[in-house]
Amino acid sequence: MSAPTPPPRRARHLLDPDNPRPSQPTRRRKGGKRDGMPIEIVQRYVLSVLAATTILHLSIGLVFAGLVIDDEHRVSQIGLCVLGGAFGVMAVAAALAIHRKNPLSPWLLLGTLPGIVGVWMVLA
């Protein structure tokens, strides 16, 4: 009678649910900086980019709607561009708020850019 064969050994690079690897602390580079970023910071960046781009799409859509309207309705064109600029400011403020920064900052001027460009294109 032959001896029972041991189960095949699992490769080291595969996950073994019965024998999890111990968690390793993040290594430090020269200067005391860590190699990786905490997951909360990464989530914050992803959320702020998502929120800002979504609101900026709305802003640019309003400006584009102002450009499509007939020139007879100049007040409506400018009004839509101003609304686009307001939503641009909201996009920047939302990104700043997600990063727990003061939403009242000079960066808000960046949000007015879609509205300013829209008014310039309407009047040109």
Taking only the tens of pLDDT, the chain with its 124 residues reads 678 888 777 677 777 777 777 776 666 666 666 567 889 999 999 999 999 999 999 999 999 999 999 999 999 999 999 999 999 999 999 999 999 999 999 999 999 999 999 999 999 8
Torsion of CA 100, 102, 107, 108, to 10 degrees: 110
CA distance linking residue 77 with residue 122, whole number of Å:
7
The neighbour count for residue 86, using CB atoms within 10 Å, is 16
> Three-class SS of residue 96?
helix
Backbone angles phi, psi at 28, to 5 degrees: -105, 140
* Residue 62 host element (H or E): helix 39-68
Q: Hey, where are the domains in the chain?
A: 37-123
